[in-house]
Amino acid sequence: MVSEKNNRLIQIAEAYNEAVSEYRSGDMKNVREPVKGIYSGHWIDSELYHMEDGTGTSCYLLIGKEKALLIDTGMNAEEVMPYLRKITQLPVMLAVTHGHPDHMRHADEFQEVYIGQKDLEILPEIYFIPAQLWPLDMEQPPGNFQKQRFIPLKTGDIIEPGDLDLEVIELAGHTPGSVLYVEHKRKIIFSGDALGCGSSVGSWLFFKYCPVLSEYVKNTKVIYERLKQWEDYIYLSGHFFQMFTEAEPMQRMVPPGLVMLEDTITMCQKVLNCELGYEESMLPVKDVVRLHWRTATIEVIRSHIR
């Protein structure tokens, strides 16, 4: 079962690599961050399209019979709809994994937007990313969402646009209202940034609205128990390239999933019990430390280790 799951992921990774490499120069065949600024993508199957926004954010388009559903918009400087129109002529609805601008910059191109209720409650705060973390040579998007109708989501909700069917699971951590979208037909979990990846990037939990570590462990344990029943599902994350380490990337894939969740829980407990140390983060943010153990990595505010 596990190797079948890995084969599915490897196939997707190879197609991803081919799709983004078209836009890169030279012989860069390794899976890495796509070149900034150009949308690209590939079909995972005839009704699921994996889109890269050109800045490192991964989005997924599900095609139903009457409607399509986009999971996250990315934050390319160009509008997303013209690119989507090359893929489908169906009406497209939007569901975001969380309220960060690199995932919903183009929410204003959609009339109805699904979003975790806890992110919606403090969206202006969540939508703002500290300037030193803003990696791009571009202005932060304004976050002007007056015209949209936001539809708040909580655990157990089912989104049914057309004949599509997605189950919602909240995982408070990266943001208070981060959600996972579970698609049972294909056995895929769209995980946004809630789980991070096992590479050096890991999960970012250092925003001031992130929970303290003990609370995060509590949340994660509950979600782990729920996700355990779907052991053979694959996780497609919000920054696909982060699954790969720098060396021999195709061989060194660390996908998010149950193992990573398990490692995350154990790691946090060890740190809370002072059985495991941590180091200063390399990120340009004050008072952030990096925890790492096996496949788990998180960056957290020092004062939140309690």
Tell me which residues touch Fe ion (CB under 5 A): 100, 193
In the complex, minimum distance from the CB of residue 75 to Fe ion, in angstroms, rounded to a whole number: 11
Instruction: Give the nearer residue to Fe ion in terms of CB position, either 109 or 119.
Output: 119
Instruction: Give the nearer residue to Fe ion in terms of CB position, either 64 or 119.
Output: 119
Instruction: Give the nearer residue to Fe ion in terms of CB position, either 15 or 285.
Output: 285
Contact 152, 176 (CB under 8 A): no
Instruction: Give the nearer residue to Fe ion in terms of CB position, either 64 or 238.
Output: 238
Instruction: Give the nearer residue to Fe ion in terms of CB position, either 164 or 301.
Output: 301
In the complex, minimum distance from the CB of residue 68 to Fe ion, in angstroms, rounded to a whole number: 23
In the complex, minimum distance from the CB of residue 105 to Fe ion, in angstroms, rounded to a whole number: 12
- Computed over its alpha carbons, how large is the radius of gyration of the chain? 18
Length of the chain as a residue count: 306
Contact 166, 188 (CB under 8 A): no
In the complex, minimum distance from the CB of residue 156 to Fe ion, in angstroms, rounded to a whole number: 23
Contact 116, 98 (CB under 8 A): yes
Contact 93, 114 (CB under 8 A): yes
C-alpha to C-alpha distance for 123 and 33, rounded to whole angstroms: 27
C-alpha to C-alpha distance for 20 and 279, rounded to whole angstroms: 34
- Three-state DSSP state, 287: coil
In the complex, minimum distance from the CB of residue 174 to Fe ion, in angstroms, rounded to a whole number: 6
C-alpha to C-alpha distance for 198 and 271, rounded to whole angstroms: 18
